[in-house]
Amino acid sequence: MSHRIVIVGGGAGGLELATRLGSTLGKRGQAKVVLVDANLTHIWKPLLHEVAAGSLNSSEDELNYVAQAKWNHFEFQLGRMAGLDRANKQIHLAATLDEQGEELMPERELSYDSLVIAVGSTTNDFGTPGAAEHCLFLDTREQAERFHRQLLSHYLRAHASQSDVAEQISVAIVGAGATGVELAAELHHAAHELAAYGLDRIRPENMRITLIEAGPRVLPALPERIGQPVHKTLEKLGVTVLTSASVSEVTRESLKTAQGQTISASLKVWAAGIRAPDFLQDLDGLESNRINQLQVRPTLQTTRDDNIFAFGDCAACLQPNSDGRNVPPRAQAAHQQASLLAKSLKLRIEGQALPEYRYRDYGSLISLASFSAVGNLMGNLTGSVMLEGWLARMFYVSLYRMHQMALHGIFRTLLLMLGDLIGRSTEPRLKLH
């Protein structure tokens, strides 16, 4: 019987790993590779801020798991992991319901020889009163599309209004990390596009965007030399940036800070902090930390079970010589770990020792919609190179193309690029529904 590898989570890392393993071990019959996800389609998570603003039509950039599985010799199972039986090497999948609440897929068990958990992360509201009730989150495609629908509803309502008073939309974004910063810039871009398409009762300057950060500067996880030009660019775009302002309460009409400020907002987005899904906490005795991440060794095996691996945002992997810091929850880390595990699982089947993961920081790029991009690239030959403007934007776009190449190969990615180029000339520049 071939070795059975079950990968839970079809995000960027999990889908890339399933594709690599299916195209090698699965194709040659050396292993049975199974990918489990609660959705039927995949969209690259760093694009969700564009889906929310309407700059990206998610239905055109999504990837179907069933088709990807057929093309790359792995099996796809629709379901959400709800439990683990380490003794019998099985995972428990909860029942899947359709839109009417009727059972689509029953509860069931899946057996594994090697289990890889790559379920990503969700936004952490830190238990702030009112945040869960009154804020939107951008963890999934559905949440991003919900924000976009609400944004369009505000514009359509204002466009149909008979009042002579200039309408105004106020958006508050909590968290000035990459998601919050990029969303603020995309919304400013969307305001100009909506006005150009005739929804001009709300002029671009009437969309009031406030970005709120508890720390002393924007992009706190990135070097200050990146944060400073981003801060200046946002202010030039008319975005109000509040730093050292921690949100203490969220109401239907506003956000209140611990410093005594009240920020009125008709749309509120929480984009501060992450945590792994709750079901990982004490999952059949596996070791986890305070934000539910599974503790892993440098081989990416969990600390208490050699048969179970975890990587990406849901794993806490210590960086050597880093004063106790874990590998940061970034897309490049998940890509590196997926590449390592593609080799490690082959070696495991062959009974060989597993390599250890070492995080390599290749820099960071932040997109400010069509206005600009800022970042730095790091490498052995170049050192650290600061990029701004058009060149940084091109490098930022290339990150998505690299993700597509990992899933589709070079030829199909070139065809996708050609299709995108043709589509831009025949479709609206903003999703208007």
Residue 174 lies in a domain: yes
Q: What is the per-residue pLDDT for 429?
A: 66
Distance separating alpha carbons of residues 52 and 209, to the nearest angstrom: 14
**How far from the centroid of its chain's Cα atoms is residue 379's Cα?**
25
Same domain for 139 and 256, yes or no, is yes
Answer yes or no: do 154 and 201 share one domain: yes
Q: Is residue 431 part of a domain?
A: no
> Is 126 domain-assigned?
no
**DSSP secondary structure code for residue 384 in this structure:** E
312/334 Cα distance (integer angstroms): 5
Dist CA 336 CA 324 (whole Å):
20
For residue 304, the Cα-to-chain-centroid distance in whole angstroms is 28
Q: Is 433 part of a structural domain of the chain?
A: no
Do residues 256 and 159 both lie within one domain? Answer: yes
pLDDT of residue 378: 58
The answer to whether 202 touches 158, Cβ cutoff 8 Å, is yes
pLDDT, position 81:
97
Question: Are 342 and 383 in the same domain?
Answer: no
Bridge partners of 268? 172
Please identify which residue in the block is written with the tokens 């305070």: 290
Of 316, 349, 382, the residue at which a domain comes to its end is: 349
Considering 295, 317, 349, which residue would you say is the last residue of a domain?
A: 349
Q: Would you say 35 and 42 are in contact if contact means Cβ atoms under 8 Å apart?
A: no
Are 18 and 112 in a shared domain?
yes
Q: Do 302 and 238 lie in a common domain?
A: no
Q: What is the dihedral of CA 263, 269, 271, 277, to 10 degrees?
A: 130
Whether residue 11 is contained in a domain is answered as yes
User: Considering the entire predicted model, what is its pTM?
Assistant: 0.91
Q: Are residues 209 and 288 in the same domain?
A: no
Residue that is last in its domain, among 270, 285, 320 = 270
Helices (H), 237-362: 331-349
Q: Same structural domain for residues 289 and 158?
A: no
The position carrying tokens 């292993």 is: 31
Together in a domain, 248 and 167: yes
CATH of the domain at 252: 3.50.50.60
Provide the domain count of the chain: 3
User: Is 109 a member of any domain?
Assistant: yes
277 with 312: CB under 8 angstroms? no
pLDDT of residue 234: 92
- Contact present, 35 and 14 (Cβ < 8 Å): yes
Q: How many CB atoms lie within 10 A of CB 88?
A: 8
Q: Are 55 and 430 a contacting pair, CB within 8 Å?
A: yes
First and final CA of the chain: distance in angstroms? Answer: 50
Statement to judge: residues 55 and 163 lie in one domain:
no
How far lies 129's CA from each of 163, 242, 430, in Å?
35, 20, 34
Asked if residue 187 and residue 103 are part of one domain, the reply reads no
Q: CA angle, 356 as apex, 353 and 359 as ends, to 5°?
A: 165
Host domain of residue 408: 363-424
What is the rounded distance in angstroms from the CA atom of residue 10 to the CA atom of residue 231?
34
CA–CA separation, 14 and 42 (whole Å): 11
Per the domain annotation, does 419 fall within a domain? yes
* CA distance linking residue 317 with residue 320, whole number of Å: 9
Q: Are residues 184 and 306 in the same domain?
A: no
- Count CA atoms closer than 13 A to 413's CA, side-chain side: 13
Question: pLDDT tens string for the chain (433 positions)?
Answer: 689 999 999 999 999 999 999 999 999 999 999 999 999 999 989 889 999 988 888 777 889 999 999 999 999 999 999 999 999 999 999 999 888 888 888 999 999 999 999 999 999 999 999 999 999 999 999 999 999 999 998 888 877 776 655 567 899 999 999 999 999 999 999 988 888 887 777 788 888 999 999 999 999 988 888 888 899 999 999 999 999 999 999 999 999 999 999 999 999 999 999 999 999 998 999 999 999 999 999 999 999 999 999 999 999 999 887 777 899 998 889 999 999 999 999 999 999 999 999 998 877 778 787 666 776 665 544 445 666 666 667 777 788 888 888 888 888 888 887 887 776 666 666 777 6
User: Is residue 357 domain-resident?
Assistant: no
